[in-house]
Amino acid sequence: MPFFLSHRARCSPLCLCLLWLGLALPATAALPQEPSSTIVLDVDATTISRKILSARESFPVASPLAHTVDLVYPKWIPGNHAPTGPIADLVNLRFTADGKVLAWVRDPVDMFRFHIPVPAETHLLVADFSLVGAYVPGNDFAPGNTSTPVQGDVNWDQVVLYPADTAADGVTIAASIRLPDGWSYATALPHPRQEGGAIHFDPISLTTLIDSPLMCGSIMREFDITPKGVSQRHLLDLFAQSPEGLSVSPERIVAFRNLVGEAGALFRSHHYASYHFLVEAQGEANDGLEHHQSSDDQVPELGMVSASFAAEGGTLMAHEMIHSWNGKFRRPAGLATPDYQQPMVGELLWVYEGLTSYWAEVLATRAGLETEAQLEDRLALDQAELDRRTGRNWRNLQDVSTSAQLLYSASQQWTILRRSTDYYREGPLIWLQVDSILRERSKGARSLDTFAAEFFGPPDGVIAVKPYTYDDLVAALDHIAPFDWNTLLKDNLLATRPTPVSPGLEAAGWTVVYTDEPNQAAVDAESTSQQTDLSTSIGLLIDPDGTIVDIVPDSAAGRAGLAPALKLMGVNHRVYSPDLLRQAIVNAETQQQPIDLLTLADGYYAEFSVDYHNGLRSPHLKRIAGKPDLLTTILQPRRNQ
């Protein structure tokens, strides 16, 4: 297949050993290999419900001389944007050569690299190891987070070693996997065949293997969501905790089919042979991981069937699918690394994630997975969150993108001051601004849809990685409609500015207002997270057990001296509950007295008086009189045009 990857693999003196293995090669092309150089990987997932996976991996050795082989465990995982390979949970590691146990050592600096002394006349180096599924904070795709007694999610990067300093495209692996009796599975890996109690796959590159997770379970249903006239098959493979979790309504299936149609209409191409939405309905939150030909979607137990999760879950799945174009086919050069050890550069994540999030909202609405009213509430919520994020005063969005590897695993406490991966919220508002300007300057003839087809689109059917730079992006926008895009983008990316600011919404003809009407997107988000979000009123975000997660510094709670990690024990001299606090906020609207809060932390009780009388306030979008409503125009379906 054509491959545009321009990097070269790093190479060390030990690379000579890899040449003996026949595996080290330049990253510019996938060269044909001798069959004897194929690595064989056999994964035993029969104990996945106990959160443990075991593997045996066999490496052909070509050199007859005694030498040292370096093998590495994947560290930088695509889509994670961080060095999240769960190396601490790699256990029972043993290397043998022709049955003899070898004394390996870990590199003292690189914890993901192993040095293995291979004796003379060795033909096959065998690695045996297991991955235990401890819960890994910040990695929603570790087996400790995804495995249950009835389902599991195998990400191959967690159960594979490969030759160090070697381009992933040049490593060929023949993989097989054993599953618990009676379990079904789904994966984008081609040509599976049952043999000897295991599922075997054709030899493929390490890149394709790691890009093709396998989801499995005993409660599973597959939905064909291929629109009429589309040649690539699109499947929704749903794994649930109970049969109730499989009862997706026919209307929702139609909406997912519409989503596929809308994606095709937007990008005018498909960069996969077929596409699998791999959905595991078992978690507490919505999270997803993108791949070229599939997405790994984690949703709550009833996430596919409950109305309250519909918009959030639908948008998540749209987001991960859009990554097949924006993130997999076209990828920022800094993220297009030749292997899984080289650090990734996240400076363009405001495109990779921000533009994907924008199109996810737009396509989910065009497809009917969420209504325009739901989208408006979600945009209002995003803007409101940015408005109170005082960390924007010291840290710009460019720094947030550059330091993404620190932020994914950062504590939720103090997020308002630290900032988080804000390109998921701020990015869509920037791209709404870009879309609005494109439409205005071209009098409606061109838009970000035009850009989608030109930059991320044809040739149809090409499965490849085509890296791009910031300059490529600006030039492509200029080709759609001449404008000083560099200044506009830099203004958004580099500014540290007092809140609020909403140029994206204003460009589309909308602004944010606060009323005492609940924001439905906020209600749905609280239903998923079980947190109590009072950040737009007294200024607190509270965990289900009463612990304050975050505080808005310039709010009544902030001025009263409250802080994250304090646990709320009492409200106006009664035992704390979320409902009691909400009622106290409503009552205080017509009273002079402050709201009295009792907290406990570090063995000390403390009392706080919160002088707040503005009631429960929620953000909503409102039209700006006299400005064209470009948002409604943007959300019009296109699949049947």
Contact 212, 290 (CB under 8 A): no
Question: Residue 93 CB: number of other CB atoms within 10 A?
Answer: 15
Instruction: Pull the structure tokens for residue 617.
Output: 């306030």
Q: Give 339 or 353: the residue with its C-beta nearer to Zn ion.
A: 353
Question: Residue 531 CB: number of other CB atoms within 10 A?
Answer: 18
* Cα torsion 88, 94, 97, 98: sign: negative
DSSP assignment, residue 18? H
- On the question of a cis peptide bond just before residue 459, with omega within 30 degrees of 0, the verdict is yes
Q: How far is the CB of 415 from Zn ion (least distance, A)?
A: 19
Q: How far is the CB of 353 from Zn ion (least distance, A)?
A: 5
Q: How far is the CB of 585 from Zn ion (least distance, A)?
A: 35
Q: Give 157 or 353: the residue with its C-beta nearer to Zn ion.
A: 353
Cβ within 8 Å of residue 430, ≥6 positions away = 350, 354, 489, 492, 504
For β-strands 67-72 and 214-217, DSSP reports them as unpaired
Q: How far is the CB of 356 from Zn ion (least distance, A)?
A: 5
Q: Give 262 or 353: the residue with its C-beta nearer to Zn ion.
A: 353
Contact 473, 369 (CB under 8 A): no
- What is the DSSP annotation of 500-561? P--HHHHHTTEEEEEESSPPHHHHHHHHHH--EEETTTTSEEE-TTSBEEEE-TTSHHHHHT
- Packing angle between helix 470-480 and helix 448-456, nearest 10 degrees? 130
Q: Give 335 or 437: the residue with its C-beta nearer to Zn ion.
A: 335
Instruction: Pull the structure tokens for residue 474.
Output: 């600006």
Q: Give 27 or 404: the residue with its C-beta nearer to Zn ion.
A: 404
Piece in contact with Zn ion (CB under 5 A), picked from 157-165, 278-286, 349-357, 562-570? 349-357
Cβ within 8 Å of residue 302, ≥6 positions away = 244, 245, 281, 309
Q: Give 357 or 532: the residue with its C-beta nearer to Zn ion.
A: 357
User: 126-149 in b/e burial notation, b at 16+ Cβ within 10 A?
Assistant: bbebbbbbeebeebbbbbbbbbbe
Q: Give 353 or 385: the residue with its C-beta nearer to Zn ion.
A: 353
Q: How far is the CB of 288 from Zn ion (least distance, A)?
A: 7
Piece in contact with Zn ion (CB under 5 A), picked from 204-212, 351-359, 490-498, 542-550? 351-359
Q: How far is the CB of 367 from Zn ion (least distance, A)?
A: 18
Query: How far, in Å, are 50, 102, 527, 532 from residue 131 at the CA level?
Result: 11, 20, 33, 36
Q: Give 379 or 542: the residue with its C-beta nearer to Zn ion.
A: 379
Q: How far is the CB of 286 from Zn ion (least distance, A)?
A: 12
Q: How far is the CB of 268 from Zn ion (least distance, A)?
A: 22
Q: Give 286 or 531: the residue with its C-beta nearer to Zn ion.
A: 286
Cβ within 8 Å of residue 527, ≥6 positions away = 308, 309
Interface with Zn ion in residues 318-337 (CB under 5 A): none
- Separation CA 58–CA 193 (nearest Å): 20
Q: How far is the CB of 551 from Zn ion (least distance, A)?
A: 28
Q: How far is the CB of 360 from Zn ion (least distance, A)?
A: 8
Q: How far is the CB of 320 from Zn ion (least distance, A)?
A: 7
Site pattern 353..392 for Zn ion (x: CB under 5 A) = x---------------------------------------
Q: How far is the CB of 617 from Zn ion (least distance, A)?
A: 30
Q: How far is the CB of 640 from Zn ion (least distance, A)?
A: 28
Query: How far, in Å, are 482, 544, 627 from residue 507 at the CA level?
Result: 18, 38, 8
640, with CB counted inside 10 A (0-12, 13-18, 19+), is exposed
Piece in contact with Zn ion (CB under 5 A), picked from 209-217, 293-301, 347-355, 516-524? 347-355
Q: Is 530 left (phi over 0), alpha (psi -120 to 50) or beta?
A: left
Piece in contact with Zn ion (CB under 5 A), picked from 346-354, 400-408, 526-534, 594-602? 346-354
Q: How far is the CB of 1 from Zn ion (least distance, A)?
A: 24
- Separation CA 627–CA 108 (nearest Å): 62
Piece in contact with Zn ion (CB under 5 A), picked from 33-41, 352-360, 415-423, 572-580? 352-360
Q: Give 44 or 353: the residue with its C-beta nearer to Zn ion.
A: 353
Contact 309, 300 (CB under 8 A): yes
Size of the site for Zn ion (CB under 5 A): 1
Q: Give 145 or 532: the residue with its C-beta nearer to Zn ion.
A: 145
Piece in contact with Zn ion (CB under 5 A), picked from 89-97, 348-356, 379-387, 489-497? 348-356
For β-strands 52-60 and 105-106, DSSP reports them as unpaired
Q: Give 467 or 553: the residue with its C-beta nearer to Zn ion.
A: 467
Interface with Zn ion in residues 445-504 (CB under 5 A): none
Q: How far is the CB of 315 from Zn ion (least distance, A)?
A: 11
Q: Which residue is nearest to Zn ion (CB)?
A: 353
Query: How far, in Å, are 219, 223, 320 from residue 300 at the CA level?
Result: 15, 19, 16
- Separation CA 373–CA 387 (nearest Å): 21
409, with CB counted inside 10 A (0-12, 13-18, 19+), is middle
Q: How far is the CB of 323 from Zn ion (least distance, A)?
A: 6
Task: Tell me if residue 248 falls in helix, strand or coil.
Answer: coil
Q: Give 353 or 426: the residue with its C-beta nearer to Zn ion.
A: 353
Contact 116, 141 (CB under 8 A): no
Binding-site ranges for Zn ion (CB under 5 A): 353
